[in-house]
């Protein structure tokens, strides 16, 4: 058996306060709705899925686990690009260094003009995905 909850009447001041509080909160609810994506025009941000697809072929040519090297473009996108590649190639660990026996190149926007001298291109998988062999491995 549950005994009923007891109540006390709110004072007029408390009623005004509750009303004011609720209205202010609902203003933020309007902001939540305005900032929500438009259901009619939702385009899923599938950058990660596309990255998985880009690296799917080269992944089948790589060892199942271990550490390989990684080189990519510079600039603001270099860190996000690295994480997307790392996510796509997990459970391999990508070390941001060219000094490995196997090195993945990620050059979506432009082909590299000056590659590290120790790297030899093994295969170009298209979409900026390159596989290198490192000649002075760690």
Tell me how far apart the alpha carbons of residues 125 and 89 are, in angstroms, rounded to a whole number: 15
User: Minimal distance in Å, beta carbon 124 to other proteins?
Assistant: 25
User: Minimal distance in Å, beta carbon 113 to other proteins?
Assistant: 25
Q: Which stretch binds other proteins (CB under 8 A): 89-97, 103-111, 117-125, 128-136?
A: 89-97
**Which position among 74, 75, 91, 117 is part of the footprint of other proteins (CB under 8 A)?**
91
Q: Which string of DSSP letters, residue by residue, matches 31-58?
A: HHHHHSPPGGG-----HHHHHHHHHHHH
Tell which residue, 115, 114, 112, 110, has the closest CA to residue 127: 110
**Which position among 17, 111, 126, 137 is part of the footprint of other proteins (CB under 8 A)?**
17
CB 88 within 8 A of CB 52: yes
Tell me how far apart the alpha carbons of residues 27 and 90 are, in angstroms, rounded to a whole number: 44
**Which position among 37, 53, 56, 121 is part of the footprint of other proteins (CB under 8 A)?**
37
Residues that bind other proteins (CB under 8 A): 1-11, 13-15, 17-22, 24-33, 35-37, 39, 42-49, 64-67, 79-80, 83-84, 86-87, 90-96
């Amino acid at each position: 058996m549950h005994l009923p909850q007891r109540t006390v009447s709110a004072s007029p001041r408390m009623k005004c306060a509750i009303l004011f509080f609720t209205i202010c909160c609902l203003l933020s609810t309007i902001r939540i709705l305005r900032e929500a994506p438009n259901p009619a025009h939702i385009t899923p941000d599938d950058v990660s899925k596309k990255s998985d697809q880009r690296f799917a072929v080269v992944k089948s040519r790589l060892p199942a686990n271990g550490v390989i090297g990684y080189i990519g473009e510079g600039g603001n996108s270099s860190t996000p690009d690295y994480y997307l590649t790392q996510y796509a190639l997990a459970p391999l660990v990508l070390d941001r260094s060219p000094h490995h026996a196997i090195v993945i190149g990620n050059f979506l926007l432009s082909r590299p003009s000056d590659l590290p001298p120790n790297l030899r291109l093994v295969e170009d998988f298209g979409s900026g995905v390159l596989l290198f062999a490192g000649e002075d491995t760690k």
